[in-house]
Amino acid sequence: MQDLEDILREAESAIQSASDLRSLDQYRVHYLGKKGLLTESLKKLGQLSPEERPAAGQKINRVKEQVQALIEKKDAELNQHVIAQQLASESIDVTLAGRSVKFGSLHPITQTIAELRRIFTQMGFIFMQGQEIEDDYHNFEALNIPPAHPARAMADTFYLTNSKLLRTHTSPVQIRAMKKIKPPLRMVALGRVYRRDFDVTHTPMFHQMECLMIDENISFADLKGLLNQFLHEFFSTNAPIRFRPSYFPFTEPSAEVDIGCLNCSSKGCRVCKYSGWLEVLGCGMVHPNVLNGVGIDSERYRGFAFGVGIDRLAMLKYGITDLRSLFENDLRFLSQF
């Protein structure tokens, strides 16, 4: 009996001194485990006389219950302390400024397309959509590019099966528009086009705008006037514009259009390769073969067309040096716009 009293006092002191749940569990094993002191005391009951065993057993069980109660009480205290520490470490200072919410923005290509739509809508043009999977006739032959024509080598085409291909330009939309709508016609086609190319200034997929106007008494002067108005409006500048003779199978005469460098005001810099000029687009008067091919009298009607890379317009307008940046979806880059 005296040993049990000593064990109880020792257990009470030890349990109260436990500083964490791990040490408390060690004391539980020491006193109440399979080889604990009180368990060993129960095993020794067989050494007592039958008369002494009931009283001794009751005493041992009572001490076990007291030790168990001490452990449970200390366990509750330590758990409360752990929770308090966790709450303190995860507390939030409500006086700090809140985190700003990041908002998305329109992609530079989307902004450029919206600006093009605004300008040409004000000029009275309609917008037409075309299919991206085209046939050889609408993509080449109807545009005065027959099967053996060397102009087919100007664009590396993604060919599919059954004479289908991914369109290399938006010009097929013009052919379908001229077949569907009788002159006079003012239309613009916007969309994705595809070519086998990938570097700083080219990607396999890019965006293009094609503009077409068919009417009586249309001249190259009308084309020059429209392009001057369009480019000055789009770039918000009065920079000089020049036309250089060029060649396209579906226009005659044809020209390349340059604008005075927007970066150096035509003085010469790295962006314009010290020429003072930036190439913008290609244009020309619609070839009579193209008009006759869609059933429009080329003796009565004339027209002009021009095509421009929307991605290039965006690069020039926003000072972007690598075309691939427009397709990498880097939020650090896109957030600038």
pLDDT tens-digit profile of 251-261?
A: 999 999 999 98
Q: Is the pLDDT score of 215 beyond 90?
A: yes
Architecture of domain 108-334 in CATH? 2-Layer Sandwich (3.30)
> What's 153's DSSP letter?
G
Backbone phi, then psi, for 301, in 5-degree steps? -110, 145
For range 138-156, the mean pLDDT: 79
pLDDT class of 310 with cuts at 50, 70, 90: very high
User: What's residue 132's pLDDT?
Assistant: 93
pLDDT tens string 1-19: 557 777 777 878 888 888 8
Structure tokens at 181: 């709508």
Task: List 133's β-bridge partners, or say none.
Answer: 166
How many other C-beta atoms are found inside a 10 Å radius of the C-beta of residue 56? Answer: 18
For range 178-190, the mean pLDDT: 93
For range 192-215, the mean pLDDT: 85
pLDDT tens string 40-92: 776 676 677 777 777 777 777 787 788 888 888 888 888 888 888 888 888 87
User: What's residue 31's pLDDT?
Assistant: 75
Structure tokens at 137: 């006739």
DSSP helix/strand/coil, 321: coil
Side-chain half-sphere exposure of 22, counting CA atoms within 13 A: 0
More confident residue, 247 or 30: 247
The closest of 245, 243, 248 to 154, measured between CA atoms, is 248
Cα 88 to chain centroid, rounded:
39
Among the listed ranges 49-53, 286-290, 309-313, which one has the minimum average pLDDT value? 49-53
Q: Where are the domains of the chain?
A: 2-89, 108-334
